[in-house]
């Protein structure tokens, strides 16, 4: 493989067991998915990430975050809305019927928190909408039933790329790693 810096055909590839990053402020570890490319001639380093077709990494991360019972921050609510590719008005209409755009804006800007019931409804509705787009994540429609929301910091979420059979076709997906 040719180096993007010096042009030498001296690039070594290494599959990293763990690659720590953040996506929209959420700490994420991608396991056995990112390749580190290093030129033995000039020392240039770059990383090759797995395909992120249809934003599956973000959707899987969003799905995982919904299941952690730590109260959502404003930036996390915005991330979840953006993952659904919705503006605030569409989000209020489809995900939080009856909520006003001004209320959602206060949530996203940490001016006000959704109440416990509103947050659980938000989590349930978003999970239902993205479950199909995160096929490697285990979806239980009752996941938020009885969930007790607590204050705290979200820890590192670890995911690995897997292959699954959907309708007799092998598809790439992301799964949580303990």
Per-residue tokens: 126: 């978003």
Rounded to 5°, angle at Cα 52 from 49 and 55: 140
Mean pLDDT value of segment 38-63: 93
pLDDT tens by residue, 125-153: 999 999 999 999 999 999 999 999 999 99
DSSP-derived 3-state class of residue 67: coil
Mean pLDDT value of segment 117-125: 96
Q: What pLDDT sits at residue 59?
A: 95
The answer for residues whose C-beta is within 8 angstroms of residue 140's C-beta and 6 or more apart is none
Q: What pLDDT sits at residue 121?
A: 96
% pLDDT > 90, the chain? 90
How far, CA to CA in Å, does 73 sit from each of 14, 25, 122, 149, 157? 36, 10, 13, 12, 16
Handedness of CA 113, 116, 119, 121 (dihedral sign): negative
The answer for residues whose C-beta is within 8 angstroms of residue 54's C-beta and 6 or more apart is 133
Confidence class for position 51, pLDDT limits 50, 70, 90: confident
Mean pLDDT value of segment 13-30: 95
Q: What pLDDT sits at residue 178?
A: 79
Confidence class for position 166, pLDDT limits 50, 70, 90: confident
Q: What pLDDT sits at residue 72?
A: 97
The answer for residues whose C-beta is within 8 angstroms of residue 102's C-beta and 6 or more apart is none
How far, CA to CA in Å, does 118 sit from each of 3, 21, 101, 129, 165? 52, 30, 14, 16, 35
Please give the Cα distance from 63 to 76 (Å, whole number). Answer: 12
pLDDT tens by residue, 64-119: 999 999 999 999 999 999 999 999 999 999 999 999 999 999 999 999 999 989 99
């Amino acid at each position: 493989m040719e180096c993007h810096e010096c042009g030498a055909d001296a690039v070594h590839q290494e599959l990293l067991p763990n690659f720590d990053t953040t996506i929209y402020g959420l700490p994420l570890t991608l396991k056995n998915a990112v390749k580190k490319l290093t030129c033995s001639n000039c020392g240039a380093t770059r990383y090759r990430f797995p395909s992120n077709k249809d934003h599956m990494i973000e959707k899987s991360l969003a799905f995982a975050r919904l299941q952690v019972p730590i109260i959502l921050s404003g930036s996390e609510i915005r991330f979840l809305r953006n993952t659904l590719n919705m503006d605030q008005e569409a989000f209020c209409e489809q995900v939080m019927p009856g909520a006003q755009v001004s209320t959602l804006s206060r949530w996203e800007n940490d001016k006000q928190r959704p109440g416990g019931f509103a947050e659980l409804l938000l989590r349930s509705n978003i999970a239902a909408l993205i479950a199909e787009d995160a096929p490697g994540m285990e979806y239980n429609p009752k996941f938020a039933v009885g969930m007790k929301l607590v204050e705290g910091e979200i820890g590192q979420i670890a995911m690995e790329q897997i292959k699954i059979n959907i309708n007799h076709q092998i598809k790439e997906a992301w799964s949580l790693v303990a």
